[in-house]
Amino acid sequence: MLYHLFEYLDREFDLPGAGLFRFISFRAGVAIMISLIISLLLGNRIIRSLKRLQIGETVRDLGLEGQKQKEGTPTMGGLIILLAILVPCLLLARLDNVYIILMVLTTVWMGVIGFIDDYIKVFKKNKQGLKAKFKLFGQIVLGVIVGLTMLFHQDVVIRLTPEEAAANGYQVMRHVQIHDQTVAGEWKDMVYCKSSLTNVPFFKGNQLDYQSFVGFMGDNAQNWIWLIFIPLTIIIVTAVSNGSNLTDGLDGLATGTSAIIGLVLVILSYVSGNVLLADYLNIFFIPYSGELVVFSACFLGACIGFLWYNSFPAKVFMGDTGSLTIGAIIAVMAIALRKELLLPVLCGIFLIEILSVMIQVYYFKYTKRKYGEGRRIFRMSPLHHHFQKVGMHEAKIVTRFWIVGVMLAVVTLITLKVR
């Protein structure tokens, strides 16, 4: 809203300083500050309100050190994260931008699903919360919406040469001319086109066309890309969202990990939406995606601000209201930036956590059928509880997971140049 207001004031009245709001870097910096301020100022009030309503965590006895001290800690703190993301985003981002609309929808959609789940657990005293099939249905619907938007919205385009677009049969939406970086003073033709291209890490060319998977359909291949892309989108949204949810088991673990990922998303969205940097790094220039810098800045500020209260010992837990939402945000933003194939690296912590649960369950069932008694690979899953069981302090586990998260973030950024 402020963006549109100051754009009007600058255009009509030449108001001094109003032009600053045209710069994404300025709005992103202000967004982080507003997110932090909202988290820090409203956080205590929301925590006190949750305590008055006796919205506390009921801890099941798992035999873990320090577990009983968490009894009664307020949950549903994800409301702080939602406010710290949405308020600065609505104030500072362009609300007519398809990517911003998609991210706001993702935040609200998964926030509502997570809130319903927490509400059932806390107020209805049902430890199972919202039935898994309903959560899965909500994630599938979101995946379908995201997939359809990426495939068919006219503003979701990438920049290619006319020859590249024609060779692959891509639909051209707009012709543009840009300065040729190799020949001073020269201009070259480029086009904004609908394309099913995405980035592939570590490979020469750094590109994968989903159209190639349905190439056997000949000239109609482009019409059937959705058969590949939409199921993949659903899997990514569901996996990352649930991975974030499983990681939220120790004070500050999911929040800190998500903040590290958020910083990488700020960088990726900036270089993808900047013509010069995209050309220099030889990655896709994605028109209109620069606004995602503002949203990812809101996300980063919200995670850091919430960590103020969620770090060990936590004053509040985010609950599914926060954990499901931050996972979905990360997944959808990666898809929008055409970096979804980087998620196994960037979200390596989430991946290991969810794999540890899958391996534990599968191995237990397999050994029970084969030997008559179930056996376990880990002392407890998800993986962070295994380290608790072997006697490692909670704060040390979280810190070491953060360190691994930083290493994975660096590897993710390195893929921009290593082919």
Most trustworthy range by pLDDT among 168-172, 280-284, 403-407: 403-407
Query: From its phi and psi, is residue 295 left (phi > 0), alpha (psi between -120 and 50) or beta?
Result: alpha
Instruction: List b or e across 149-166, with b for residues whose CB sees 16 or more CB atoms inside 10 angstroms.
Output: bbbeeeebbbbbeeebbe
Tens of pLDDT, residues 59-73: 555 556 656 667 778
Residues 253, 322 contacting (CB under 8 angstroms):
no
What's the Rg (C-alpha) of the chain? 23
- Please state the domain extents for the chain: 2-157+224-343
CA distance 375 to 382: 16
Contact present, 256 and 402 (Cβ < 8 Å):
yes
Q: What is the dihedral of CA 211, 215, 221, 224, to 10 degrees?
A: -70
The structure tokens 């506390």 sit at 56
Task: Tell me the pTM.
Answer: 0.93
HSE-CB for 165 with a 13 A CA cutoff: 19
Q: CB neighbours (10 Å) of residue 218?
A: 7
Does residue 253 contact residue 388 with C-beta atoms inside 8 Å? Answer: no
Each residue's pLDDT tens digit, 147-204: 999 999 999 999 988 888 887 788 888 888 776 655 555 677 888 999 889 988 877 6
Cα of 186 vs its chain's centroid, Å: 39
Asked if 327 contacts 254 with a C-beta cutoff of 8 angstroms, the reply is: no
Residue 257: both structure tokens together: 């990990």
pLDDT in the model for residue 61: 53
Instruction: Give the phi and the psi of residue 286 in degrees, each rounded to 5.
Output: -110, 100
